[in-house]
Amino acid sequence: MDGLNLEIFPLQYELKSECRIGYLCERHLLLRLSSMEDYIHVMSKLAYYLKAKDGFYHMRVQNWEPWFHPEYETSTVLAWISFPSLAPNFFIKESLFTMAKTVDKPLHVDMEMKNKSRPSCAKVKVEVDLLKDLPKRINVGMRRLGTGDIIAWIDIKYDYMPKYCKSCRLQGHNVKECFVLHPVLKPVKENKKEESAETSVTAANMKRQELMTKDATCTNLVIDK
């Protein structure tokens, strides 16, 4: 990772509070953030391009964990969840956070919820563990004077949620789709000519590619909030 200027990182990624960044190990940087707002901002994007003298490094983002290992990826991600057809009286941050805790750790609500400009649906960003079984609905109890309690079920919808393989401990696929566990699932080229055409790159193109961008696994940013 020669040529990286870590001092411009806060400016390049519009961080609002103090942070510290340094080399954790080969191909991994550790970013220590001092505010939850910056943590949510950085973790909301799965990848960045970090500017360097010789081009750009493709940088993937993952959460720091005490059992961090450079060969594996964390199962913790940030994701939006929504509660469609939720009654307007629940459009309060404290109420939504209580409901979102059934999924995992709530972090913040979206701007439409803050402005109450979308009464049809409430959205909350949560920190989710992909290894957990995620609920599809939540039981919301309401009490009506004179008639007693009313039981109402509210659906929980999830935005994009990456898959996670418990065997490889990598994001992007699950156990059923794992090529290591199921080699027969690995795509096979139809003929050698097509394979040769796809994999052969001239030396000039390879040199140009190296100058423009680094390998996707070259840099990993580990977030410690």
Counted domains in the chain = 2
What is the reported pLDDT for 209? Answer: 39
Say if residue 91 is in the same domain as residue 152: yes
51 shares a domain with 88:
no
Residues 160 and 113 in one domain: yes
* pLDDT one-digit tens code per residue, 115-135: 888 888 999 999 999 999 999
Give the pLDDT confidence score for residue 96 in this predicted structure: 93
Q: Is the pLDDT of residue 18 over 50?
A: yes
**Do residues 126 and 119 touch, judged by C-beta distance below 8 A?**
no
Are 80 and 160 members of one domain?
Answer: yes
More confident residue, 211 or 12: 12
Pair 134, 59 in one domain: no
Domain stop point among 144, 164, 184: 164
Inform me whether the pLDDT recorded for 207 exceeds 50. no
Asked whether residue 85 falls in the same domain as residue 64, the answer is no
Task: Report if residue 183 sits inside a domain.
Answer: no
pLDDT at 203: 43
Task: Indicate whether 105 belongs to any domain.
Answer: yes
Both 30 and 55 in one domain: the answer is yes
User: Can you give the pLDDT at residue 55?
Assistant: 76
Does 154 map to a domain?
Answer: yes
- Please check whether residues 95 and 149 belong to one and the same domain: yes
Q: Are residues 44 and 94 in the same domain?
A: no
The string of pLDDT tens digits covering residues 166-205 is 999 998 899 999 998 988 888 876 655 444 444 444 444 4
pLDDT of residue 46: 73
Whether the full predicted model's pTM is greater than 0.75, yes or no, is no
Chain mean pLDDT for the chain: 80
Residue 200 inside a domain? The answer is no
Coil, helix or strand at residue 191: coil
Q: Is 54 inside a domain boundary? A: yes
Cβ neighbours of residue 198 under 8 Å, at least 6 residues apart? 189
Confirm whether 99 is domain-assigned: yes
The model's pLDDT over 73-130, given as tens digits with 9 standing for 90+, comes to: 889 999 999 999 888 888 899 999 999 999 999 999 998 888 888 888 999 999 999 9
Q: Does 44 share its domain with 87?
A: no
By the 8 A CB rule, do 185 and 175 touch?
no
Q: Which of 63, 22, 57, 20 lies closest to 40 in space, CA to CA?
A: 63
Is 60's pLDDT higher than 80?
A: yes
Q: What's the confidence (pLDDT) of residue 126?
A: 95
Q: Which domain holds residue 24?
A: 6-72+216-224
Give the residue from 143, 164, 185 where a domain finishes: 164
Categorize the per-residue pLDDT at 142 as very low, low, confident or very high, splitting at 50, 70 and 90: low
CA distance 96 to 113: 10
Shared-domain flag, residues 99 and 159? yes
pLDDT the model gives residue 202:
41
Tokens of 54: 């010789």
8 A C-beta contact, residue 68 and residue 76: no
Q: Are residues 52 and 87 in the same domain?
A: no
**pLDDT number for residue 145:** 58
Predicted pLDDT at 210: 44
Taking the C-alpha atoms of residue 4 and residue 153, their distance in angstroms, rounded to an integer, is 51
Q: Which one has a higher pLDDT value, 16 or 218?
A: 16
